[in-house]
Each structure stands twice: as structure tokens, then as C-alpha cells.
Amino acid sequence: MVPWMTSRNQTVVTEFLFSTFPHLYEGGLLFFVPLLLVYGFIVMGNLVIVMAVRLDVALHSPKYFFISVLSFLEIWYTTTTIPKMLASLVSEQKTISLAGCLLQMYFFHSLGITEGCVLTAMAVDRYVAICHPLRYPLIMTPRLCIQLTAGSCLCGFLLVLPEIVWISTLPFCGSNQIHQIFCDFTPVLSLACTDTSLVVIVDAIHAVEILASFLVIALSYLRIIAVILKMPSAEGRRKAFSTCAAHLAVFLLFFGSVAVMYLRFSATYSVFWDTVTAVTFVILAPFLNPIIYSLRNKDMKNAIGRLFQKAANGAGR
């Protein structure tokens, strides 16, 4: 397929070129191997967490249910971008079709918004657990957890759809170079040969979505911290803080990088800093999540240990 076709003396783009990736002889292989290892760790690490929560009765609680949902989403979230990055690093043709670009943007942002909603649900869960412990079993029922998860998915996959449909109607002509490591709204819209001023409205909608989740989580944790500080026992305070530390770390990493990338409106960064920011929430955050949720959690470490022990015993028979 050629990246353009001629119609009425105008070149119409049908493929986009990722100009950020180095060629193989320029060191592409040096980036390929570490990225492949990171992607393998992300998939296997999150898959182990999902299986541990699913198979270990000790982890059958709302807290670990949401962690398993987040881990499941992380697998698909990274799969929308990293395999294409790997292919671009070792291929001479660093292109993606218009349809492929639209699909990548849709699933990447849909899964990202869903993750943000799940993180919000996790903050509410920790708020109820610490601030209303006696009512916790009555409020955070399995049915409510499933409803919150389904609502998060519905929110994520419906909110982005109108924007993707609108972008699919835009004509693209002239340059087809995307100065980013994956298809994203701003780099793609900059290539449209028509008025894209509506993107300001789209940015405002995304800002409201991000800020709404951020405020819910921030207010929940402010209330949680206030309650924890009033606990008479130092040991009780330590345990309460430790149960929230992992989620708070993921929250800050995820929303921090997303805010830098998408809450800047007219501000512009260099291609280098755009790429660094993208790597943070596309690769680094998903890479750290399995570490944060497993190595810093005694129950999770014990469950993973039992899972591997069962696997070893099964293989030894």
C-alpha cells in the first residue's frame, strides 16, 4: 500500500509514518530488546496478579478484585501500542494505516479512561474501608464491584467514540509524518488539511474527565488521611497507610503523566519531551504497577508464592 494517492491534484494520506523511531542501523535494535523485555514483564506480571486474585480465596475481596481488573486492563492497554512500537523499531516501513491509527487511538484512550475510572473506584473502596469500616461489607458488595467495573468500561469505550468518528471524517493531505511513538489525537489532528478548531472543545472534555477523577480520588484520600491521623494506635496508622500507599503511588504516576500530556491546551513541548512523557504513561507506569502491587503487598506476595508452588507441584507430577 502506498502512503498517498493522487486525486484532483491533491495528495490524500492513507498511511502515517512514525518519524520518531530510529532505523535499525541507527540503534533501533538497542531499543527493541529492552522494550521487548519490558513488554513481556508487563504482560506476565499482570497476568500473574490476575490469576493469583482469581485462584486464591484469601484475595477474594473488593480491594484485590479492583487490582485484578486494573492488571487485566494494563495488559490490553500496553498491547494497543507496544507491539507496533516493536515492529517500527526493526522494520524499514514505520507506517500505520489510517484505519489502524484510528483503532489504536480508540482502544488506547478507551482503556486509559477505563483505568482512570477503576482507579477512582479503588479510591472509593479504600475510603469506605477506612472511614466506614463497620459498613464496608454492606456497601462494597460483589454486585457493586461488578457494577462499578462495568460502568468504568462503558464510560471509557463510549466517551472516545464520537471523537474517533469525527476524526475519521477529516481529510488528511500533505505530510503524513507523526512526531510521536504512537497515534494520538494532537499529532494526528495536526496533519488534517481542514479546520480542527473543535479540538479545543475535545481538550476541554478530556480535561473535565481527568479532573473529575482526580478530584474524587484526591478528596477521598484527604478524608482517609484525616481519619488515619486520628487513630490512637501507631501500628493501626502504619497498617492503614500501607494499604493505601500502593494505590496512591499508581494514582500519582498515572494521573501525573496524563495531566502533563493532555492538560496543557495550547502549550507546546519539543518532540523529545513529548516522547518522554508518552513513555512514562505508556510504558513506565504499566511496568511499575505489577511491582507496586506485588512486592509491596504481603498478601499478594504470599498468594503469588502459592500460585507458583501449585504450578511447580503440578509440573513435577
The residue ranges of every structural domain in the chain are 12-316
Residue 285 CA from chain centroid, whole number: 8
> Is the separation of the CB atoms in 46 and 290 below 8 Å?
yes
Under 8 Å between Cβ of 178 and 17 = yes
Instruction: State how far the Cα of 79 lies from the Cα of 58, in Å rounded to an integer.
Output: 30
In order of 167, 168, 169, 195, 286, the CA distances from 10 in angstroms are 19, 18, 17, 17, 42
Q: 12-316 falls under which CATH superfamily?
A: Rhodopsin 7-helix transmembrane proteins (1.20.1070.10)
Look up the pTM and report it. 0.88
Tell me, what DSSP letter sits at residue 266? T
Q: How far apart are CA 283 and CA 67, in angstroms?
A: 18
List per-residue pLDDT tens for the chain, 317 residues long: 444 444 445 567 789 999 888 765 666 678 899 999 999 999 999 999 999 999 999 999 999 999 999 999 999 999 999 999 999 888 888 899 999 999 999 999 999 999 989 989 998 998 999 889 899 999 999 999 999 999 999 999 998 898 899 899 998 887 889 988 899 888 898 888 887 776 667 667 777 777 788 888 888 888 888 888 888 888 777 777 777 777 778 888 877 777 777 766 555 666 777 788 788 878 888 898 888 877 667 888 888 888 888 877 776 66
d(CA 256, CA 277): 10
- Terminal Cα-to-Cα distance of the chain (whole angstroms): 52
